[in-house]
Structure 1
């Protein structure tokens, strides 16, 4: 005895029953549902590639496709409160005959607002009423996050195939809303990251500024410490000069004056020795004046003295204005060479001015301080009777001198050489000798200048 296997239920597959007289009408309705499903899928497939419009464009297409499939008077796609908080829009509603869904609850009729409120409240299952609402949940990761509902206008109730189409549309909406939430969250994180980056940059700039200020304070503290040591040493030297050297010079002046008086009493004013003693007396008086000015300068605190190189040069020139017409000219933007270097340059200028006052028989001197991008040029020119060639030979003799006397030019050269510079003697345009002192600028103090300044050579003629 054999049992016959039942064949496939063609009626269930095709949606029609061959035994019915309304076979053709059933076939037509089935074909219409299939066409509506195909149109809905086609609408969604076209919306999926419009990513540049954002998630709203896809959601609107979902609502329109569902409305067309159900021939619905109203179609609603909404999210439940508390789910996908960052997703926008929260709901869309489309009336029959309209093409643009709305997202304002105030514009909806009362029955539609009640359905929207139920979705927002999370009421997935509602009591049946007279209105033929069709509802499918929006599921994301197994959680009901909303619903797609429609007040359908179909002749017959929607079949499982219709509900399957709606579920497909709802799933597309869920993915789009989830993507929207993540996109908005990513934008928020990007803005926050940009804000934090800007704050870090601002803090970095503030830290760099404070670090720069700290370095400046450290330099000022170091300078203050050096000045304190220098003040102590200056005071000691001033006391030594006042208590010993000045007294010896005064005693020598008194002895010369006594000798001059005796020479004048014996031989009268025509005696050559008398003239030499008068000269010696004048020199001792000048030496005492120089010592007193030096003691006064050394007795002043370092904080009260002029710190910059231009001020130091002006102070050196001021010591010689009693017997010379001195001009000081400064060109360019002053650069810091360091306290020790600037004092060495000022002492070298003082040596040169002393030589002018003592040997050149000059009436005028011009001191020019010129700052260049890579060096500092100091010139001391006079209108005296000196010869730069003779001075060049004299400095070579002074280098070999070992008795400590007549080393003014060699001292200038030694000070400048210690700074990496050089000294030259040239003919001054005002008639006498021009002493040129060139000292390179340390790398950390250099400032970029114009190309013309960098390319300018040493052969340019300075004007006194």
Structure 2
């Protein structure tokens, strides 16, 4: 009778235990896997140090490779001519994880390996304890991660895969560093160009303002020359014709007065009127002489604004009238010869006051407002604003003989600038002539002395 036996593991599973043959290999494989996991953990630690800059990340990559290979030295370097803007160009780490940045402090064999990497020499992946994997970027090698390992056997393909991951991460970091440096350089250049452009724009604005001032002064000087020429011509005309006629009229009155005296009592009334005519002719001659003298006086080149022109006009009437000029608001430059038109209108008003109002005092008030320029001529004479308004309406519609054209001349000059005039009772007791010109100014509709000879900027030659 055969003795029965209990089934063993081989009987139950049909597989003999491989413990004696494969356990050691299994343990070593497990250690490799754990080693690879630790290397991946090192890679993750390296990745989160990206914010510290490329050097910190590269040193962490080199430490991870050194730890994975138990390396005596680990080198991570770029080849010459690759990623030229990237920094640092190389990183070396000792077995204790200490980074060495001074190339002269490295051992000779480490410097030789670093020189070979920089020169771009193609060397075996495994050679005399050195492990080399390329750093690739877009399929091209830009450098090498190399380490002098102290493992009992050469690294396996899985170890090389871990090193390639580390090397490629380093390549990406260096490429990002290069792009960042290039971007910073472009940013600095752009900021420099912007600052230069801003400074040039400011300088150009200053020079433009200066050129405009020079242009205005030149235009004023040209206008002044033309006006002075016209003034001298008028003065010659007054001296050679009008004054001679008035003197002749005075002489004729004197002859007639002698004949009236011969009539005796019958010619007394005629003689009285002739005496009045003689006095008027003498006053006319005196006024003509003063006007000729004033016309011969050359204006200064600094007279370029409306207040300065009005000062000139007031000065010409000062012998007969106490004229005061008051200016309110900021003085504005006027286009073309508009300031001359306004000054002539004020001069006409002052002449009317001197000739007809029996006034002694006049206040000219020039006001610059937001939407208009207002000029008021107020006197202490005997004028009536209602009568003057009615007289202006008659002069606008009726043909007069030229002796009563003062008001309509003022109205015409102001109307051609888009403005209007009105007559009010002045606080001084006389009449206040108010001229209102809207802003912006409208150009004159008729060619004046300046407008016809100089022309406006918008005019085109035929």
TM range (shorter): 0.7 to 0.9
1:247 is displaced (CA, Å) by: 1.0
In the alignment, is residue 394 of structure 1 matched against residue 387 of structure 2?
Answer: no
Aligned position for 1:427: 425
Picking from 418, 421, 432, the partner of 2:416 is: 418
Per mean C-alpha deviation after superposition, the further-off stretch among 213-222 and 231-240 is 213-222
1:365 is matched with which residue: 347, 362, 366?
362
Q: In terms of mean alpha carbon deviation, does 121-130 or 336-345 score higher?
A: 121-130
Partner of 2:118: 120
Q: Verify the 8 A CA contact 1:124 1:147 in the aligned structure 2.
A: no
After superposition, what is the alpha-carbon deviation per residue over 1:12-67, rounded to whole angstroms, capped at 9, x for unaligned? Answer: xxxxxx97956333322221221121222233245446654443443233212111
Aligned to 1:66: 65
TM-score between the two structures when normalised by the length of structure 1: 0.79
Question: Does the CA-based 8 Å contact 2:335-2:441 persist in structure 1?
Answer: no
Higher mean displacement: 432-441 or 197-206: 197-206
Does residue 438 of structure 1 match 2:436?
yes
Q: Distance in 1 between matches of 2:71 and 2:106?
A: 15
1:29-44 alignment runs, 5 A limit: 29-44=28-43
**Partner of 1:323 in structure 2?**
320
Give 1:111 shift.
4.3
Q: CA deviation at 1:220?
A: 5.8
Q: Cα deviations across residues 426-458 of structure 1 (Å, max 9, x unaligned)? A: 11112211111111222699xxxxxxxxxxxxx
Distance 1:295 1:434, change over 3 A: same
Aligned residue in 1 for 2:102: 104
Provide the C-alpha distance between the structure 2 equivalents of 1:304 and 1:162, rounded to a whole number of angstroms: 93
> What is the CA distance between 1:262 and its match in structure 2?
5.5
Q: Distance in 1 between matches of 2:380 and 2:370?
A: 30
Instruction: Identify the residue that residue 24 of structure 2 maps to in structure 1.
Output: 25
Shift of 1:77: 0.9
Q: How does 1:190-339 map to 2 (within 5 A)?
A: 190-203=187-200, 230-260=227-257, 271-299=268-296, 306-339=303-336
* Equivalent pair of 1:80/1:146 in contact (CA under 8 Å): yes
Deviations 1:366-425 (A, max 9, x none): 111122222111111111222222222222222233123312222212221111111111
| CA distance 1:20–1:108, change in 2 (3 Å) | farther
Deviation at 1:85, TM superposition (A): 0.7
Query: Is residue 221–residue 301 contact of structure 2 (8 Å, CA) maintained in 1?
Result: no
TM-score, normalised relative to structure 2: 0.79
CA offsets, 1:351-377, max 9 Å, x none? 211221122222211111122222111
- Pick from 116, 136, 141: which aligns with 2:133? 136
Question: Contact 1:124–1:137 (CA<8 Å) still a contact in 2?
Answer: no
The answer to whether the Cα contact below 8 Å between 1:367 and 1:378 also exists between their aligned partners in 2 is: yes
Q: Cα distance 1:274–1:36, how it changes in 2: closer, same or farther (>3 A)?
A: farther
Say whether the 8 Å CA contact 2:372–2:437 is kept in structure 1.
yes
Which SS does the other structure have where 2:317 is aligned? Answer: coil
Cα deviation, residue 87, structure 1:
0.8
CA distance in 2, matches of 1:224, 1:410: 30
1:249: Cα distance to partner? 1.2
Question: What is the alpha-carbon distance in structure 2 between the residues aligned to residue 157 and residue 169 of structure 1?
Answer: 18
The match for 2:166 is 169
In the other structure, the counterpart of 1:354 is 351
State how 1:182-197 maps to structure 2 within 5 Å: 182-197=179-194
- 1:79-98 matches, within 5 Å, as 79-98=78-97
Q: Do 2:414 and 2:437's aligned partners in 1 also have CA atoms closer than 8 Å?
A: yes
Tell me, what secondary structure is at the counterpart of 1:319? helix
- 1:236-279 deviations in whole A, cap 9, x for unaligned? 433322221121112112333444456567769x9554444343
Distance 1:211 1:430, change over 3 A: closer
Relative to 1, partners in 2 of residues 1:313 and 1:264: Cα closer, same or farther, differing over 3 Å?
farther
Secondary structure, counterpart of 2:399 in structure 1? coil
**430-439 or 190-199, larger mean C-alpha shift:** 190-199
Q: Distance in 2 between matches of 1:77 and 1:115?
A: 11
Which consecutive residues of structure 2, in runs of 5 or more, have no partner in the other structure? 1-16, 444-462
Q: Distance in 2 between matches of 1:201 and 1:172?
A: 42
Quick one: structure 1 residues 95 and 154, their matched pair in 2 at CA, closer, same or farther if it must change by over 3 Å? same
- For 1:185 and 1:74, the matched residues in 2 are separated by 32
Cα pair distance change 1:390/1:155, threshold 3 Å: same
Q: Please tell me whether the aligned partners of residues 125 and 131 of structure 2 are also in contact (alpha carbons under 8 angstroms).
A: no
Residues 212 and 20 of structure 1: is their aligned pair in 2 closer, same or farther, counting only changes over 3 Å?
same
Distance 1:260 1:110, change over 3 A: farther
Aligned partners of 2:327 and 2:367 also within 8 Å: yes
